Amino acid sequence: SPLGRTKEGGLRDGKDLICCVVYRRSLALSLSPPFPSLLSTLFLPSLQLVPSLLDPFTPMACQTGIKPNAKLRSAFELGKQAKLRLIKVVVRNEELAPNYELRGSNDWRADWAAALPECLDSFEPCFVLFRLNTVHDWLFISFADDRAPVKEKMLLAATQATFKNEFGPAYIAHERHVTERKDLSLDAFDSWMSGKSEPQPLTEIEQELLNAAQERSRAAAAAPTGLKGVSFPLDRNAEEALVQLSKGALAFVQLSVDTLNEAIKLEGMETVLAAGELAGKISRKQPRYTFYRFEHEFDGRQLVSIFFIYSLPSSGASIKERMLYSSCKGPFLGEAARLGVEVAKKMEVDAKDDLSESALFESIHPPVAESPKPFARPAPPGGPRRITKV
């Protein structure tokens, strides 16, 4: 017989060679009928290949075809009614059968200490279902000790998906694979659960994002409910500078967000500042709020327009600063309006944007687009046409 198979159809332990069969699948051609049957005859009878899964348009999968017997199905129902605390399941006679059941008490920790890991055999792979609190809080354990026979471990692994589907994935809250009995002590389980609840290690950028989000949520909780964003108070110097700007006594006021003290403070001010000098006053490394009083002539009239410039450099600022500047902008402009500052134009710039006098003028007085000229039909060749009577 091929590969020295026994009469029962299985490979002889320690006698036969285990080989890997590689079969090239094509999207255009299905598997020929002899191929699935050939694989079925080479391996254990309980390891049945599902023909629908060998279709070229679905992933290949191998299922044992082992199903729970009537006793296990009954145990499933009792467990879902909170009448069982523990169900141990093994594969016997090509069936999933209960090997040990524990009704337990109201204290799951006491039940754990009384049953686990004593109910396990190192040479017998098994599944264990343990109910922690509610009927939807089951722990699924797949136990396969390194000393157990390889054949039984592989058979159990190939039945795991079927077992969970039969019991109901919605009832399983935790899942763990164990290879040593000592890992199922109550102390080991507590350590495993605490490790799951601990936050995962974060990179420097992820930690900075988390800190910024927490800072933003704390500031938002303390902000008035009628405002959107984060409202930081103005220090006394910044408030006085904005009042002077609204009265025309200052031409330039620059402010910053103090992330440490959660306040907006004054960085600089100028009584007179030419438009050509404005770009040199904008920081290219740190975010800033800047007010500029732009005096100019338009249509023969002298006009004054106050610009609000939110400068956000592309590099150099931390993520926390960027988030706070963006969140504080709305409430800050509301406070500036309350102090009498009437903003004619809002701009958001970075280090590459143009802040020359012409750029300011065009932003406040955009050029009028010329209306499109009608299409001029060209004259026909040879001059105007003449009508000849015949």
User: What residues form DSSP beta bridges with 101?
Assistant: 87
Average pLDDT in the 371-387 region?
68
Residue 29: is its pLDDT beyond 70? Answer: no
Q: What digits encode the pLDDT tens for the residues 207-259?
A: 888 787 777 776 665 555 444 567 889 999 999 999 999 998 999 999 999 88
More confident residue, 334 or 372: 334
Torsion of CA 288, 291, 297, 302, to 10 degrees: 180
Q: In the chain, how many H helices and how many E strands?
A: 11, 10
For residue 32, pLDDT over 50 is answered with: no
* 46-58 per-position pLDDT tens digit: 444 444 333 332 3
CA distances from 218 to 211, 222, 228 (A): 11, 7, 14
Is pLDDT of 149 > 80? yes
Write the DSSP string, 241-256.
HHHHHHTTS-SEEEEE
Q: Which two tokens stand for residue 146?
A: 């390194």
323 and 287 Cβ atoms separated by less than 8 Å: no
Return the C-alpha torsion angle 69, 72, 76, 79, nearest 10. 170
pTM score, whole prediction? 0.40
Q: Considering the chain, what percentage of its residues have pLDDT values greater than 70?
A: 75
As a whole number of angstroms, the distance between CA 78 and CA 103 comes to 9
Q: What is the DSSP code (8-state) at residue 314? A: S
The predicted pLDDT at position 250 comes to 92
CA–CA gap between residue 347 and residue 364 (Å, rounded): 11
Task: Say which range, 51-60, 128-137, 273-282, 373-382, has the weakest mean pLDDT.
Answer: 51-60
pLDDT in tens, 346-360: 988 886 777 888 888
Query: Rounded to an integer, what distance in angstroms lies between the CA atom of residue 261 and that of residue 160?
Result: 57
Mean pLDDT of the chain: 79
For residue 306, give the amino acid letter: I
Query: What pLDDT, in 10s, does the model give residues 280-302?
Result: 888 878 899 999 999 888 888 88
Peptide bond preceding 117 in cis form (omega within 30 of 0): yes
